[in-house]
Structure formats: structure tokens, C-alpha cells
Structure 1
Amino acid sequence: MTAAPAQQAIPIPAVQQALLTWFDQSGRSLPWRAGAEGARDPYRVWVAEILLQQTQVARGLVYYERFLTAFPSVEALAEAPIDAVLKAWEGCGYYARARNLHRAAGVIVADGMPSTYAGWLALPGVGPYTAAAVSSLAFNEGRAVNDGNVRRVLARLYSERLPTEPWVQARADALLDPGRPGAFNEAVMDLGATICTPKAPRCEVCPLAAWCGARASGQPTAFPAPKVRAAVREVQAVAVLIGNEHSAVLERRDGALLGGLMGLPSEIREPDETVAQALARLCTRVDAKPGVLLGTVTHNMTHRRIVLDVYSAKSAHPKTPVQDAALSRLDHKVLGLLESQRGSLFEVQDSVEGIYSQRVETA
């Protein structure tokens, strides 16, 4: 690998001017950016920043519009039942974000809309990045943001292969334009999202090309070095579908990942447990009689890969209309197993129930 050449000091005023000029001409038009700099709707900015923490903009736009249609104001969000909030968040993942939005909305309605970094940081679910983003974008406070796009742009500009969080924050603070902090933050993020991309940076049209150490090295994609990813852990589980894709027995999930959502009754298999044993344990818990194996669904999460064996089952428990419940993508995948089936599941189950019951008992 060719070493990056010794780099001269970055001319901060020139970088600020070049980046803001580019942004004024080429910045993305996004719905939460409506309004003059420093006078935007903080509620819309806040919802967008929370949503986009784990969701790409192109996909997030659909979820954003859906959420704002359901809850057009912070008062509407605070007054809504949590189940309605989770339903509006359906498909976005990381549902703790929705629960924290709901909690924070209640605080805002009671205490007033924060206008400072410290005020936003005090709210549930708001960390340093979100507090800096909302306070700068909505109130023009001089706070530099630090996210993945910012990290990549600054690592390349300064030809730093291993940028630490404190290093990135210090460089972002030093570069921040004090006259237009919100616009400057958006400019760096837009540059990383559209020009200084991870695998195919368009250096030839980058406004910072003249000063970029990574470009001068001839290998811009070597900066920053890839992060070491945690190993993905496979989780084996079983679930039962009591009903059909329209109406089914559901239970409320707990835990950090899917807590608060409704879902099909399920159990994680213990390390020394067979599918049959886990299914029997699950059916005992929900007082159900197992039937047909409907299929196996896999679902990838950040550090987990869930492999879910799905069985039909019979139970006297009341069923819930699926369309009214907030379900995870995993549960929607399970219900998708039935898209090609019509009529009652139990017509199929009754003909083979004895076979599968025997398998469960003898496996």
C-alpha cells in the first residue's frame, strides 16, 4: 500500500467555504429541512434524526412520512397509546427508538421543547449525536455532529486510518462553521452520503479534493480502515401460528430488541434442546396442541441471525387481527409463509396432525 504523503495543515476557512458552497448547490432536499436555517420544526428534525440512526435515507423517507402522518405534532405523539406508536414504527427496527420517542414526547409536552444541546441530551433516547443534530439544525447552536458519514469524510480529509471517536469529534469541532453550524453539519453528512461514499468515492467532483490526504495517497477507500465487526451469533428458536395470516394468537414480547411488540408465541431453543423439546415446552406454556411444520424462517439482525422453525397449532386462546398489531419483520416473514395458502390452516393440519404429533413425541 502506498503511504499517504505528509499533509499540510488543512486551511479551515477555505474548507468551510468550499463545502458550504457545494451544499448550497447540491445538498439533498429532504422534508425535515423545510424552513430557514435555525428556524426549522424541531419535532420533525428530531423524528428524522432518530429514524435515520439505523435506516438509510431512501428507505427512511417512507417511514418518516408514515410516522408524521400518524403523529403530526409532539402533542399527538405524546397523547397516542404506545401500541399505536409501535404500529407506526413497524418495519423500522430497533423499536427502543420508538418507545423512547414516545417517552420523550411526554416530557416535552410537560416541560416544553428544548432549544439547546443540554436540553435535548436530557431526554430519553437522545445521545450526543442526536442532541448536536437537533440543536444545530433546528436552533443553529454551534455543535458539531459525529456519525458514520462524518467519520469517513474527516478520516479521508486528514488521511487517518484509525480515527477514534474523540479524534473525529475534535476535528469536527475545529471545522464547524460558526456562522452556519446546522448547514455545515448537513453538508458534511451529505458529502459522505453522496460523494465520499464507502466503496466508490467520486473524488473528481468532491469540493474537498484539493486538500484530501486520502485522495493524495491514491487509495481513498483505505481510509478509514474497516471496523472489526462482532461475530454474528445464530439463535435457534421455535414459534407456533395459531390461526392464519389474517387473525392469530399473539403475545407481547419483552427484551431490548423487540420489547413492546406483539408477535407469534415463540421460544429460543436451549443449547442442548431439540426442536421437538422446544416446541413441546412452548406449546405447554401457551396451552396449545402442535401440528404441521409450516417452514423455517431466517432473519438477520445486527449481531444475530435468527433461525425460526414455525409450526401450526391449535388453542382456545382468542385471536387478534394481524393488521391491528405492531409486528416485527420477523413475524411478517412468518405470516408470509401462508401467502400461497387459502382457507383454514386446520384443514391441512387435521390430515397430518397425527404424524406430526408422533414426530414431536419421538424426536
Structure 2
Amino acid sequence: MDSKPNPTTLKNAQKALLSWYALYGRHHLPWRDKLAPNRAYRVLISEIMLQQTQVKAVLEHFYFPFLECFPNLCALSAANVSEVLRAWQGLGYYSRARNLHKLAQICIDNSKTSTLTFQDINNPLPCDIHLLRKLPGIGTYTAGAIACFGFDLPVSFVDSNIKRILLRLFALHSATPSLLESKAKLILNHKESFNHNQALLDLGALVCLPKSPKCKDCPLSNLCLGKENWQDFTQSKPTKTIKQTLHFGIFIRDSNIALSKSKEKLYFGLYNFPQIPPHLMQTSQKLGILKHSYTKYQLTIEIYLCPFAALDSLSIDFANKDSLEFFMRNSLESLPLSALSLKILKFLHTKGLF
């Protein structure tokens, strides 16, 4: 597409995109239902979940259960952060859940002193894109998506899928965020912004793929400047994998198992099994090895059944010692547990240990 397409060319491209979306778009996604109650809130939840998680996983396992627990911002704000983390369990990237909880509290607090009138007092989410960006966990893309999909505002935005379309459409070898945002704004269909932006998201997810794009099926193919050499217009960041081996101790006392509430940024507020020092590994029974991965880490997990008496003789360098808490198995259902902890618990169950 030319850097500045003429009005007729642009209008035809927008029309072709909408026609394609009408036939092939993912209209079944519940957060696209414009008649759903609490629409802006539902869009917010979906966008935060989809930041680091695939659509299928969000739709099948997390979206509806979370809404059932916290049907609106008011309910989310009133919840304890541990409850929110528990409902988020399995989604990973738990900072999203903590930011979402903070966001809800900020919105509820602001609504009590604001002179603005909100359509739903239980969901005082601002529709202004600049106010949205001030909320924790909300970046440029998410603010635009909420403004458009939640409030029908004619705004454009760029995620990884839309970025790939724009790079190829305009044959851009590289582009700054501001340039991409200007291109997205250039082709925005102001009268049909909701469907236009949903169509772009679907086009990137279903047709304009990172590898082996389906150019013959693309409604914008005739205008795409980069389709013949699409590989040259695909920016991707190489992922660097970090391998680590971690050693976790299992302490069981009177059918209770020891866990530690994390204070580290990644797992803050979640319960994990304690890591043990080398000297304790030598006096403990090695139960087995698990593999686990998250973000850029590929972990080898060695699991040891530790003698309970060893707790009293542990050196001061065992940082988790003072933070250990003991739980019965049925009480674990109400705890926010990391995916790794759940995997270890399943392993212990197969061993008949807990």
C-alpha cells in the first residue's frame, strides 16, 4: 500500500477487510459480544489475560471462571489479592493479576471523588485513552483496545499481529512504535472501528502469519507491497533460553506439607516449595526430577524428601526457613499456588506421599 493511499483505494481496502471479517472473523469470542453486560470490564479482563496467553487457553479455562468470581470492578476491588491470585492460577505472569487488582481499587477509589458520571457504578472504568494508560498494567495497545472494543471509540492501536500486517503492507524493513501507530491510524476505518480493528487482529492471527502467510486468502493482498518478499518485512526478537537446575525440599509433618509465601517479584504472594541448600540435599532422599519452563527459563527441578528434624539444624543461609507454613492437602485448594508448585504436588500424589 502506498505511504499515503488515495481515498478511493483506502475505502476499497477497508471494505474488503470488513467483508473478509464478516465471513471469516472470530465472532464467537465472548469478549466481542457488544450486547454483553459489563462490556468494557469484560474487554479489560480479556485483554489483560491475552497479553501473555493464547486465545484458546483463555477461552477454555480462565475467562469465564474469573468473571464468575469477580463479575465487575467493584467485586474485584473488594477481593483480597490472594483470592485474585488463586483465580488467576495457571495463567502465569502473575504481575498481571496483581496489577488488575490495583487497577480495580484505583478505579473504585477515583469514582468516589470524581465528578464524572459512569454508565455503571460497579464498573467505573475510564473510557479516555490517556486515563486508561495511567492505570497499572495498561500499555498503549491495551488502552486502545479497551477504548475501541469496550467503548466504541474510533481509535487505532498496534499489537504483534497488527505490527506484522503493517510491516508487510507498507514494506517496512524496520519501524518505530510511533511510525507503526501512524500507519495504523492512517488506515483506520473511523465509521467501523470496532470491526476494523477486530478484523486486523484476526487477519494477523489467521492469515498474515509469522511463517508461511496465506497471501492468496488475504483481502489486502492486492495492496500489499511486501507480499513477494514477506520474510524481509517481519521483525522478530530472538528468544534467549536460560537453563537452570533448582532443588526443592519436601517437608511433611503430621500429614501437613511445608510451603513458603514468595516475596520475590515474579511469584510475589504465591506459595511455593522451599529451595534447599546443597548440604541438605546430601542428607535427604531424592524423589525425582521434573522439567518446567516459564518465560525464557527452562528448568530442571530436583525434588528431595527432607527429614523434618533437619529444619532445626538448618544454617541461617536457608532463607525460606522462617517463612515456612504447614498445610493439610484440602486447605491447598484455597491457596494461590504457582504452576510449578501444582506440578510438584501432582508428582507427590503419584508417589503416594501427599
TM-score of the two chains, using structure 1 as the length reference: 0.80
In the alignment, does 2:224 pair up with 1:177? Answer: no
- Which SS does the other structure have where 1:318 is aligned? strand
Q: Please, which of 228, 232, 236 is the counterpart of residue 226 of structure 1?
A: 236
Is 2:164–2:235's contact at 8 Å kept on the other side of the alignment?
Answer: no
CA-CA distance at 1:36 after TM superposition: 5.3
Task: Give the match for residue 44 of structure 1.
Answer: 42
CA-CA distance at 1:85 after TM superposition: 0.7
CA-CA distance at 1:131 after TM superposition: 0.6
CA-CA distance at 1:168 after TM superposition: 1.5
CA-CA distance at 1:221 after TM superposition: 4.2
Task: Give the match for residue 318 of structure 2.
Answer: none
CA-CA distance at 1:158 after TM superposition: 1.5
Task: Give the match for residue 213 of structure 1.
Answer: 225
Q: Please, which of 294, 309, 326 is the counterpart of residue 301 of structure 1?
A: 294
Q: Please, which of 322, 331, 337 is the counterpart of residue 341 of structure 2?
A: 331
Q: Give the Cα–Cα distance (whole angstroms) in 1 for the partners of residues 182 and 38 of structure 2.
A: 27
Query: How big is each residue's C-alpha offset from its partner over 1:320-341, in whole Å with a ceiling of 9 and x where there is no partner?
Result: 4332222122112222322432
Q: Please, which of 259, 262, 265 is the counterpart of residue 256 of structure 1?
A: 265
Task: Give the match for residue 278 of structure 2.
Answer: 276
Is 1:241–1:313's contact at 8 Å kept on the other side of the alignment?
Answer: yes
Which amino acid in structure 2 is aligned with residue 249 of structure 1? A
CA-CA distance at 1:135 after TM superposition: 0.6
Cα gap change, 1:107 to 1:192, in 2 (>3 Å): same
Which amino acid in structure 1 is aligned with residue 257 of structure 2? A
Coordinate RMSD, CA, aligned: 2.5
Q: Give the Cα–Cα distance (whole angstroms) in 1 for the partners of residues 95 and 156 of structure 2.
A: 25
In the alignment, does 2:17 pair up with 1:19? Answer: yes
Task: Give the match for residue 274 of structure 2.
Answer: 265
Which amino acid in structure 2 is aligned with residue 318 of structure 1? F
Q: Give the Cα–Cα distance (whole angstroms) in 2 for the partners of residues 307 and 234 of structure 1.
A: 8
Q: Give the Cα–Cα distance (whole angstroms) in 1 for the partners of residues 278 and 343 of structure 2.
A: 22
TM-score of the two chains, using structure 2 as the length reference: 0.82
Q: Give the Cα–Cα distance (whole angstroms) in 2 for the partners of residues 226 and 45 of structure 1.
A: 27
Gaps of 5+ in 2: 112-123, 310-324
Q: Give the Cα–Cα distance (whole angstroms) in 1 for the partners of residues 12 and 180 of structure 2.
A: 19
- Which SS does the other structure have where 1:239 is aligned? strand
Q: Give the Cα–Cα distance (whole angstroms) in 1 for the partners of residues 51 and 326 of structure 2.
A: 37
Cα gap change, 1:40 to 1:203, in 2 (>3 Å): farther
CA-CA distance at 1:278 after TM superposition: 7.1
Query: How big is each residue's C-alpha offset from its partner over 1:3-43, in whole Å with a ceiling of 9 and x where there is no partner?
Result: xxx96854322222211222233221211111259x97110
Q: What's the % identity of the aligned pairs?
A: 31
CA-CA distance at 1:263 after TM superposition: 1.0
Q: Give the Cα–Cα distance (whole angstroms) in 2 for the partners of residues 279 and 121 of structure 1.
A: 48
- Which SS does the other structure have where 1:298 is aligned? strand
Is 2:263–2:269's contact at 8 Å kept on the other side of the alignment?
Answer: yes
Q: Which aligned segments of 4 or more residues in structure 1 are displaced greater than 6 angstroms? A: none
Task: Give the match for residue 53 of structure 1.
Answer: 51
Q: Give the Cα–Cα distance (whole angstroms) in 2 for the partners of residues 242 and 258 of structure 1.
A: 20
Gaps of 5+ in 1: 1-5, 268-274, 281-289, 346-363
Task: Give the match for residue 193 of structure 1.
Answer: 205
Q: Give the Cα–Cα distance (whole angstroms) in 2 for the partners of residues 179 and 278 of structure 1.
A: 67
Is 1:238–1:278's contact at 8 Å kept on the other side of the alignment?
Answer: no
Query: How big is each residue's C-alpha offset from its partner over 1:105-143, in whole Å with a ceiling of 9 and x where there is no partner?
Result: 112222232111012112111111111110111112232
Cα gap change, 1:263 to 1:85, in 2 (>3 Å): same
Q: Please, which of 146, 151, 159 is the counterpart of residue 163 of structure 2?
A: 151
In the alignment, does 2:81 pair up with 1:82? Answer: yes
Task: Give the match for residue 100 of structure 1.
Answer: 99
Q: Give the Cα–Cα distance (whole angstroms) in 2 for the partners of residues 264 and 35 of structure 1.
A: 44
Is 2:62–2:91's contact at 8 Å kept on the other side of the alignment?
Answer: yes
Which amino acid in structure 2 is aligned with residue 338 of structure 1? L
